[in-house]
Amino acid sequence: MASGAKGLTFSAPAWRLGRRALPDHPRPLVMGIVNLTPDSFYPDSRYPTPEQAVTSAMTFVAEGADILDLGAESSRPGAEPVGAAEEQRRLLPVLAELRRHTQVPVTVDTIRAETAQLCLDAGADGVNDITACTADPEMLSVAVANDCGLVLMHMQGTPRTMQADPSYEDVVGEVTAYLAQRTEAAIRAGVAPENILIDPGIGFGKTVAHNLTLLAHLEHIGCGRPVLVGASRKSFIGALTGAAVEQRLGGSLAALSAAYQAGVKVVRVHDVFQTVQFLDTLAAIALARTSRS
Ligand code: HH2
């Protein structure tokens, strides 16, 4: 990955998200999380009715979200799958309504190829697959056929089991090798390299120490592709500080600082307004550093 913001200017490799152009900010792009669920780990991020989801998504757009990520199945530790029919019942009306109101790019957080295809037909621009296209053998074909954006995330185990006993000899090396291998598999299947964004999967089969080590070494995991980081309000912040999920904004901003320093391309967050303000201020300070005479 690029040297990020350590040098004079912020730079991250480009990412193509379907046919919709992404802005070129001197900071990571902000992806707002819209959970169409009754059980996501952060209660304030749950929008169980289509009306609530659309209102919240449009608020995120007004606050400066660059991308919206719609998910209909919680992946919190211990979560049970909801099933394809229910997932689609939750997603499709919201996507249709969003497409009437905004041109902001939308990704869909799903591990099912059928759901992905229906959402792409309904106007989504990319797929965010937390299993890196390993859960559904058809997912890579959907990504190829639609020439859409594709997020490949690392997870050890499954949401039901992943926090039981996560273990690595070298978490940065193993996560990087896995993401490189999944990127290669996607390219071999025909996915355009520029469509791929990779993600170390903060909180997915990782201890607090694993998460911190990954956040401290984000610049090493790129394997030539841009990186997404999702650390927003996750439990490692609670474990470090004792804060309940409602009180983890400060820790989430600290993780954003690490993402900015490493030249991460996209940050996936619950708090769009505060994130945009935080990153714009960091970027302005970096610019002032370069212009001092
Ligand atoms: N984290 C969550 C869900 N999807 N996708 C990617 N690519 N990266 C992440 O870090 C990530 C993700 C968990 O956050 P949230 O969606 O708010 O919770 P829940 O899964 O409980 O709905």
Query: Are 265 and 13 within 8 A, CB to CB?
Result: yes
Helix (H) or strand (E) holding 250: helix 249-261
The verdict on the CB of residue 109 being under 6 Å from ligand 1 is yes
Helix (H, G, I), strand (E, B) or coil at 95: helix
> Per residue in 109-147, is it b (16+ CB within 10 Å) or e — as a string?
bbbbbbbbbbbbebebbbbbbbbbbbbbeebbbbbbebe
Single-letter amino acid, residue 167: S
Is the predicted pLDDT of residue 3 greater than 50, yes or no?
no
The answer to whether residue 1 scores a pLDDT higher than 50 is: no
Q: What is the pLDDT of residues 206-258, one digit of tens each?
A: 999 999 999 999 999 988 899 999 999 999 999 999 999 999 999 999 999 99
Candidate list 112, 225, 234, 248, residue with the active-site label: 234
At a CB cut-off of 8 Å and minimum separation 6, what does 85 contact? none
Higher pLDDT, 252 or 162: 252
DSSP state of 153: E
Angle at 190 between CA 27 and CA 259, to 5 degrees: 20
77: pLDDT confidence band, cut at 50, 70 and 90? confident
Ligand 1 center from residue 230 Cα (angstroms):
7
What's the sign of the alpha-carbon dihedral 70, 243, 27, 199? negative
pLDDT tens column, 124-146:
999 999 999 999 999 999 999 99
Which residues make beta-bridge pairs with 275?
Answer: none
Please name the residue that has the structure tokens 């050890």.
156
Q: Is 45 in the pocket of ligand 1 (CB under 6 A)?
A: yes
E strands present in 51-195? 67-71, 106-109, 126-129, 149-153
Share of the chain above pLDDT 70, in %: 96
16 belongs to the catalytic site: no
76 is catalytic: no
Amino acid in the structure at residue 75: S
Cα gap 162→202, rounded to integer Å:
12
Residue 9: pLDDT above 80?
no
CA 196 – ligand 1 centroid, Å: 18
Q: How far apart are CA 293 and CA 291, in angstroms?
A: 6
The Å distance, Cα 290 to ligand 1 centre, comes to 35
pLDDT at 292 over 90: no
- Nearest-CA neighbor of 265 among 71, 33, 24, 60? 24
For the cut 90, the answer to whether the pLDDT of residue 181 exceeds it is yes
Average pLDDT, the chain: 93
Residue 125, both tokens: 């621009």
The pLDDT, as a whole number, for residue 2 is: 47
**This prediction's pTM:** 0.95
